[in-house]
Chain A
């Protein structure tokens, strides 16, 4: 109060102060004096328009320093907000126009929320913005014109929203746009030609929109574009004839459009790893020149109207893992040269008009996982050589004209889970050897001319889910060993010449849903089936069965058509020749009857439950061959690697007792990890992610398939995944020692890692990541993945090294503190905020390599060119082969490393300030 008093006393001073006030006020509204407070109040405005149901932004409040608020990053000097990362926080509401007041923003990430409304025009006022990610929200409206004012923008990710309108041509006025992902919206109109005239655009993701028009020849103007994806739009017209000029493309996906015309001959000039043309209306022949695209990992031409033969030269594609030609009108025979595609995992030629024999050369495809030639006109015998494809999981020869017998050598196909030879002209008996294929879950030999009796050893196929031997000439009894098929759900033996009784043991099959034995010569009664509670489909008609149909249980619920044609079979509900003795007993309701009714009700209840909970299985016969995993509603297990020789989701649930706590081996922030020992005695780790965004499932799936196709000795391999109601399940190699993180930070810390070991681990991790970044053949990866990887490398190399400088353990084991210092610097580089400031993974690898002592004699020997079978070896190993011979003294830095550090020298100095 003292100062007020003094003011009143001195009038002249008060005046001067007033002038000062005015000057101050006028300057404050324009000047920079209160810039930081503007940022704070802008943030509060932004918060106001969000609907923050989980109250994750509770600390965003007036009084506190906004630089410490969740998701806010400030510049160290100006205290301007430079990054806003509020991804995955379950935020609703809208994006406030106040975002435009944060002039210093470099990056905005609001992905994975529930934000609605439109993108505010004011976003165009964030003139420094380099990265804008609003993906996975429910934002609607047009892409605002003002986005084209963001001249610094490099990354624009708006995928998975509800955006409408055209892709504005003015996006081409963003000179630095490198990564444009507008996938999965409702954008319409043409792809603007101007977008292709950009020297730096790398990634163009436009899949799953309503884009129309045709592909412009300008698409090959882009010198740096490696990812071009317009899958699932409504594009028409031809593939541009100059497509061969798109030499930078790594991934070309124009699938699921309405493209017409022929595949241009020129396409052979591409060096793509993925070529996806499926689901169009392409006609003409498969150009032979495709056989020269040796970088191809995935070639998918399926579901078009292609004619002519399969060019034998495709056999030249020795790096291709997936060849899909199904659903066309291809003629001629399967070229034996395909047997040279040694890396092939998937070969699908089904639903064509192929004739001739199945070439025995296919037996050379030892990595083959799935072979599908169903629905063709193939003749001749099934080549015995196929039994050399020891990784074969899936063999489908359905609906051809194959004859001969089933090769007993198929017993070598131990990984096989699906075998379908139905609707051919196969003769002879069922070889006993088939029962050695212990992993089989589907065996379909129906509609052939197979004779003899059913080998009792079929009962050894304990994982069998579907058994179909119908429409053959089988004789003899149904083996009692069928009772061992504990998992079996469907058995069809109809239209044969089977005799004898329905074995008692079938009553043990508690999972049996469907049993069809109609049109045989079976005798005896139905009492053995009384205990098959899960049975929902039964047909025993046209046999010689006798006795009463047991009443008061499930069997009595089946319609007469299930039982007709058995002259001696009696039931109250059919017009059988038997006298109807039951009607008289109806009047007094005995205790037993009440019990029966109660039991019946219970059974019905159970039935309903089963029907609801069971995944829908396609009917055993009609399930064709176009069974691509796209529209399954039930949890399905997608298997990505052969060594995961398991069958279905249910198997996993059985083995882990529905993911019982017993099997938990660890917890993470977003997941629980279980251990599951597979049928083949190999363990896998199951990671259960808690489901966050149901709308992103499809995306999750796509990404997973990408990750799944990556193999490197230093990366844990994803073997499969399943999207189930109990969370998304990921199946990984089981690692005895846990993750690197556990090793470094685990409470046990059993063995202390010395410096050299740590360095080697870091190098291994870096090599793995470098592989992910550069060497990986299908170069389809999302930016999200990459961000994670940056985090990963931080936690692996950075944290490692940074921790160790303060960790006294380390100084004891390390002789060269200079090396520690270098690692420290490297770690700092890796944790730079701007990705462009960070070294590339190859550079990291190079530095680490130079520091690791080369004690292993193997590395010192200059290796010849890597054998063609190891694809991993492209860039990385070729480089190290060159590098290693001259690199004996590991503690001194080579010139290149010195330069690497010079290059980042200033960055280091900035960081350490």
Chain B
């Protein structure tokens, strides 16, 4: 019984398994030149026919384990025998096993990788003696023994596909040598103390699918990108400056681009429009300037657009910016100095569920098209200069509750004829007053209801908290007085 598969680029190799049946199995990831046999790993009976681990690699694993405070591992007679957590091996065609994956760190009890002695651990240079290594994973390993990322990792040359050095407390710059890891698919250096700039050599990482350098102290500009397969680009919480490079156009596969919390400046480049697969774009908390590129509307797959906290400098939302964003669910534009009216077209985006336009200078009225947003769950329009009637019906207001925030828009009012008059408590939360209309003469003129019905508005609630703390302050003061008084 034979199984043949004919994917053009795949290597077909024959494996004789312990059972009588031969299987032809395919290498799904044939990016490596190593002659490993991609057989299903069988945890229990693996290696039972006298096959053994390459002794050089075995010794290297001992070294690496010792360097992380796992000296006990030197008692393991064969690291590829049994399924040791954190060590993965694969056989070559001569049934000699090679180490392909090493993982360290207390990720969780379920993934019981060897833990690290955070005070003394280091990455042993013995790692370079593992010529078949595909995955290297260190998580929370060197936090109390700050050390730079060793340059010798660059020698893992063509085999390494995944390099994860996460929350390790690494210091210093990212070694340029990492640019030699040309097979790298995943590079994760999240939450270290890395400084310096992003190496230009990274443009050689043409197979890269995910680059996460977030939460470090990286400075300088984002270098030119040339990673056609890149799906994830996460550089958030660094000290990066300069413009968003137009070369992002070379990364059409991007699904997520998170550049938030940096010091990026200038406008958002028009090239953003090439990222047709982009699902999440977060540029919040930078110094980006307006206007928003019209190309934004081309991001047909976009689900979340977060631009909060940029001094967009008096940008107006033009009517057709968002027109193509049919999948957009989350739109966060708080605190971006937007002005002008909210376009009616925004209410026509069918998937919208979260709209935050608070703390801007928007004026005009709330578009009636917002009534069409059936799935809307959060709407923040507070702290603007909106005027006119609140268009929502009672049911919407009741359903959204505190997720509807309209306060600090002195011009907003609601029509008691709108069915809201007997359930005003929800609107009261927002501190909205009745509209002064000619029709409803029986209603008293503009009157604040924020003290009604025993409900506290968020707005009011904050002030009451302040009052509370004030009274505490007074108590302390009295106490001080008592002390002072006694002194005198």
Contact = CB atoms under 8 A, between A and B. Distances in A.
Interface stretch (A189-197, A393-401, A666-674): A189-197
Interface stretch (A263-271, A473-481, A701-709, A817-825): A263-271
Contacts of B1: 288
B35 interface: no
Contact of B256 (A172, A268, A899): A172
A411 interface: no
Given A173-B282, A199-B166, A899-B117, A29 B112 contact: no
Nearest to A899: B69
Given A141-B403, A313-B19, A875-B83, 13 more contacts: A24-B476, A24-B477, A25-B473, A28-B476, A34-B469, A38-B465, A165-B377, A169-B304, A175-B190, A199-B190, A223-B186, A266-B26, A886-B75
A38 B304 contact: no
Contacts of A842: 112
B107 A200 contact: yes
| 5 closest A-B pairs by CB | A3-B485, A896-B72, A142-B377, A28-B473, A294-B42
Interface string A1-30: 011101100100100010011001100110
A795 interface: no
B481 to A, nearest CB: 6
13 contacts: A37-B469, A142-B378, A145-B378, A168-B304, A173-B282, A194-B279, A194-B280, A224-B108, A265-B26, A266-B26, A271-B43, A289-B40, A842-B112
A875 B87 CA distance: 14
A145 B330 contact: yes
Contacts, number: 248
A840 interface: yes
A752 interface: no
A120 B405 CA distance: 13
A843 B109 CA distance: 11
B135 interface: yes
Given A178-B108, A289-B40, A173 B258 contact: yes
Contact of B402 (A97, A266, A293, A774): A97
B438 interface: no
Contacts of B258: 173
Interface string A309-336: 0000100100100000000000000000
A121 B356 CA distance: 12
Given A34-B469, A193-B279, A903-B118, A292 B42 contact: yes
A792 interface: no
Interface stretch (A76-84, A105-113, A239-247, A681-689): A239-247
B477 A20 contact: yes
A636 to B, nearest CB: 31
A883 B75 contact: yes
A12 to B, nearest CB: 12
B44 A142 contact: no
B215 to A, nearest CB: 7
B279 A875 contact: no
Interface string B102-128: 000011111110010111100000000
A894 B72 contact: yes
A41 B42 contact: no
A624 B96 CA distance: 52
Nearest to A897: B72
B76 interface: yes
A883 B75 CA distance: 7
A170 B331 CA distance: 11
A118 B403 contact: yes
Interface of A: 2-4, 6-7, 10, 13, 17, 20-21, 24-25, 28-29, 34, 37-38, 41, 97, 101, 117-118, 120-121, 141-142, 144-145, 165-166, 168-170, 172-173, 175, 178-179, 192-194, 197, 199-200, 202-203, 218, 221, 223-224, 226-227, 242, 244-245, 247-248, 265-266, 268-271, 288-289, 291-295, 313, 316, 319, 773-774, 779, 786, 835-836, 840-843, 846, 868, 874-875, 878, 882-883, 886, 894-896, 899, 902-903, 906
Contacts of A178: 107-108
A774 B112 contact: yes
B458 interface: yes
Nearest to B19: A316
B472 A34 contact: yes
A489 B221 CA distance: 82
A577 B278 CA distance: 88
A24 B332 CA distance: 37
Contacts of A41: 465, 468
Contact of B164 (A10, A173, A223, A906): A223
Contact of B28 (A245, A316, A878, A902): A245
A896 B232 CA distance: 39
A170 B40 contact: no
Contacts of B119: 902-903, 906
Most buried by B among A10, A194, A875: A194
A875 B473 contact: no
Nearest to A154: B108
A429 B17 CA distance: 48
Interface in B280-326: 280, 282, 303-304, 306
Given A37-B472, A194-B280, A242 B403 contact: no
B92 to A, nearest CB: 17
Contact of A242 (B5, B28, B40): B28
B166 A192 contact: no
A585 B272 CA distance: 100
A813 to B, nearest CB: 30
A886 B74 CA distance: 13
Contacts of A294: 42-45
Given A28-B470, A197-B255, A202 B110 contact: yes
A202 B117 contact: no
Contact of A197 (B44, B112, B256): B256
B243 interface: no
Contacts of B465: 38, 41, 101
A29 B469 contact: yes
B466 interface: yes
B470 A244 contact: no
Most buried by B among A21, A141, A173, A245: A173
A293 B17 CA distance: 12
Contacts of A218: 231
Most buried by A among B17, B72, B88, B332: B72
B279 A169 contact: yes
A203 B485 contact: no
A193 B231 CA distance: 11
Contacts of A223: 135, 137, 162, 164, 186
Contacts of A868: 44
Contacts of B76: 882
